[in-house]
Chains A and B, each alone.
Chain A
Amino acid sequence: MQVFKVYFKVLRGTAAPLAINLCVFVGLAVLFSSTAPETDPGGFEPVRTPVTVINRDVDGEIARGLVDYLGGVFRLVDYPDDEEKLQDALFHRMVEYVVIIPPGFSDRFLSGQDCAIRKVIVPGSTSSHYVDISIDKFLNTVRLHHMYGRSRNYEASGAELVALAMDDLSVDVPALLKVADGRAGGDPPGHSYYYRYCAYALLAMVTMGVSSIMIAFNRPDLYLRNLCSPIPRRRINIELALGHGVFALGCWGILVALSFVLHGKTLLESGLAGLYALNTLVFALVCTAIGFVVGNFVRSVDAQAGAVNVIALGMSFLGGVFVPQSVMSKPVLTAAKLLPSYWFVRVNDAITEVSAFTPGKLSPVFNGMLVQLAFAAAIFSVALLLSKDRSVSSV
């Protein structure tokens, strides 16, 4: 296993570019995962808008009831009854809505006279509409009970009306969120983005590493020196292939482990971690084949760096790694179908859409993986064929 043992020592020469690629990828992954939506877009979480109530009808029962009701729905912030301070609070967004209940409001409300409540809001605030609706709801409920009592010749007190209204408004209506096709729609989760960017990381790292080894072992004099040794060429190739496999597996392992570090919770909750990892493993095999080609046909390290960058960035952009396939033009998508990265991204997106492990849901996933495997086999075959021709003619 002399060749296998030396494989990782030779790889030391590529440690710096590999580390840079990994760092760039980790940086991108952290950046995008922090901007990608982590919560279920179908979920609902109430927001308590900061509201200040200036109650100038201190003794009025309806006014007090309104304050209590608003206190239950919104976050009441205390401010003195000072026009300037209230304006400052609104300007600095300390509150979004100021309710001013005028003196004698309760009496006027019960007697059916005009009794407008003043409001001061932050311009363009959408949450102020919810405050308007809540105030209307409370007063309408109180008015309903008041009118109903009168219709029965019963004059309920303000306290009674407030209690009845509060009772009505405290009833919760259960809501069931129906999600079409098992998912809540919207943007894909962060781990889906992460695995999509893995294509770039794998292309850059695996291609660079594998091609570096092939370039080292294909240097004409080293090639001949190895050929003069008592180790059969076949065994050298097998040990090299083993080295490529372990290296690609190592890169894949790092990326998968990193996915659990960054998105472990959502990834495990989705139940799709295995499929994402499998798709990435298949793509790692494709990258190994590409690295094999580059290493067999590129001679200098400078040319290799250029080739790896062009391949990694080109395939990533055209395959839909950085730009979603949904926004790519039809001709570009047609051409992209000739790239394994396109199929990787397609499978990745298909995995994100999987809601149940049924044949119907899984068939696009496994079909895409098979296409990637076919790409890997084709690239390996062509590279082997051409490299055999060349080695025969060069000796």
Chain B
Amino acid sequence: MQGLVKRYGKLVALDHFSLQVHEGEIVGLLGPNGSGKTTALNCILALLKYDKGTVEVFGKPMRPDAYDLKRNIGIVMQNVAVFDELREEENVDYFCGLYVEDARERRRLVDEAIDFVGLGGFRKYYPKKLSGGLLRRLNIACGIAHKPKLLILDEPTVAVDPQSRNSILEGIKELNRQGATVLYTSHYMEEVEQLCTRVVIMDQGKPLATGTAAELKAMIGRGETITVETYMLAPDDLERIRRLPNVTQAYYKDNQLRVHYDGGLHNLLHLLDYLKQREIPFNRVFSEQPTLNDVFLEITGRHLRD
């Protein structure tokens, strides 16, 4: 996507949005509600007309009638998009059949897709009989059965239990290993961090940051946070801790000392040395590295969204 602009009346949903996804990547598209993620996906799929910019898929312009391109794209919607009136197997067969005409080949692909998402025991079940997790897996099976080269997943793990989520994420990784390029949107930072080779954080229709999870964490300039349980910390000790190397912030509350660093090495060692030297007793010690969530909040702000 290059310089894409999409307006809904006065609202600018995409503001010169550009995104490149390379073959073999798993790109995570992160953004708060209303940031333009779904609009961007709809533009890529030629479901929406846009005001300005270009969209190319596999190096060719993407248009509503670009059926040869669509044949190699798989889509997994945020909401489960299957026929309630069809059995699990029939649903997968129908959506696969939109891409693959040969009946024998389709049969093989349907079986593979059903086995891939682990729904082999539910072939004759109607969607209403499936649990939320199984439904999500069926939704994915319908999107991947035709073995797409580009797989677009729009928050596919919403309202799914941890076991099903893990199974879905492992499945996506396996599809990527088999050669599929993946564009993935989610609100779950740990998912994106675990899955994606590259992350794009967007807000108000614009990309704000792009890179690997480690690159993004480095970008916000925040290091680890160390928490120490201690019961006797004098105010002048807190002041001295604040002057230790790399410390950006330190405070003491409810018998917990929290110290933030902006990077550096051996921070924990230096802190514990200081406490020993001053004979300050302490119990448990925790060290937390910055997460993608911290990066996301840092970049997009902490105010509430719709």
Question: Which residues of chain A have a CB within 8 Å of any CB of chain B?
Answer: 2, 5-6, 9-13, 216, 219, 221-222, 224-232, 395
- In the complex the two chains form, is A221's CB within 8 Å of B98's CB? no
Q: How far is the CA of A2 from the CA of B68 in the complex (A)?
A: 18
Q: How far is the CA of A224 from the CA of B97 in the complex (A)?
A: 16
Those 3 A-B pairs whose CB atoms lie nearest each other, nearest first: A221-B81, A13-B85, A229-B98
- In the complex the two chains form, is B94's CB within 8 Å of A2's CB? yes
B84 located at the interface, meaning its Cβ lies under 8 Å from any Cβ of chain A in the complex: yes
Q: How far is the CA of A12 from the CA of B98 in the complex (A)?
A: 21
Q: Which residues of A contact B84 (CB under 8 A)?
A: 13, 216
Question: Can you name 29 A-B residue pairings with CB atoms under 8 Å?
Answer: A2-B94, A5-B97, A6-B83, A6-B86, A6-B90, A6-B94, A9-B85, A9-B86, A10-B83, A13-B84, A216-B83, A216-B84, A216-B85, A221-B81, A222-B81, A224-B47, A224-B81, A225-B77, A225-B81, A226-B98, A228-B70, A228-B75, A229-B98, A230-B67, A230-B68, A230-B70, A230-B71, A230-B99, A231-B67
Q: How far is the CA of A395 from the CA of B82 in the complex (A)?
A: 18
- In the complex the two chains form, is B85's CB within 8 Å of A12's CB? yes
Q: Residue of B at shortest CB range from A12?
A: B85
Q: Residue of A at shortest CB range from B67?
A: A230
Q: Residue of B at shortest CB range from A11?
A: B85
B122 located at the interface, meaning its Cβ lies under 8 Å from any Cβ of chain A in the complex: no
Majority-rule SS of A interface residues: helix
Q: Which residues of A contact B80 (CB under 8 A)?
A: 221
Q: Which parts of B59-77 form the interface with A (CB within 8 Å)?
A: 65, 67-68, 70-71, 73, 75, 77
Q: Which residues of B contact A231 (CB under 8 A)?
A: 67, 98
Q: Residue of A at shortest CB range from B142?
A: A225
Q: Residue of B at shortest CB range from A212?
A: B85
Q: Give the shortest distance, in Å, between A106 (CB) and chain B (any CB).
A: 88
- In the complex the two chains form, is B83's CB within 8 Å of A222's CB? yes
Q: How far is the CA of A53 from the CA of B77 in the complex (A)?
A: 93
B42 located at the interface, meaning its Cβ lies under 8 Å from any Cβ of chain A in the complex: yes
Q: How far is the CA of A215 from the CA of B204 in the complex (A)?
A: 34
Q: Which residues of A contact B47 (CB under 8 A)?
A: 224, 227-228, 395
Q: How far is the CA of A225 from the CA of B47 in the complex (A)?
A: 10
Q: A-facing mask of B71-109, CB < 8 A → 1, else 0?
A: 101010101111111100010001101110000000000
Q: How far is the CA of A105 from the CA of B295 in the complex (A)?
A: 129
Q: Residue of B at shortest CB range from A14?
A: B85
Q: Which residues of A contact B99 (CB under 8 A)?
A: 229-230
Q: Residue of B at shortest CB range from A229?
A: B98
Please tell me which one of the listed residues A9, A228, A230 contacts residue B90 in the complex, with CB atoms under 8 A apart: A9
Q: Which residues of B contact A227 (CB under 8 A)?
A: 47
Q: Residue of B at shortest CB range from A226?
A: B98
Q: Which residues of B contact A9 (CB under 8 A)?
A: 85-86, 90
Q: Which residues of A contact B86 (CB under 8 A)?
A: 6, 9-10
Q: How far is the CA of A224 from the CA of B80 in the complex (A)?
A: 12
Q: Give the shortest distance, in Å, between B277 (CB) and chain A (any CB).
A: 63
B45 located at the interface, meaning its Cβ lies under 8 Å from any Cβ of chain A in the complex: yes
Q: Give the shortest distance, in Å, between A369 (CB) and chain B (any CB).
A: 34
B280 located at the interface, meaning its Cβ lies under 8 Å from any Cβ of chain A in the complex: no
Given known contacts A221-B80, A225-B75, A230-B68, A10 and B98 CB-to-CB distance under 8 angstroms: no
Q: Which residues of B contact A11 (CB under 8 A)?
A: 85
Q: Which residues of B contact A225 (CB under 8 A)?
A: 75, 77, 81, 95, 142
- In the complex the two chains form, is B97's CB within 8 Å of A221's CB? no
Q: Which parts of B18-74 form the interface with A (CB within 8 Å)?
A: 42, 45, 47-48, 65, 67-68, 70-71, 73
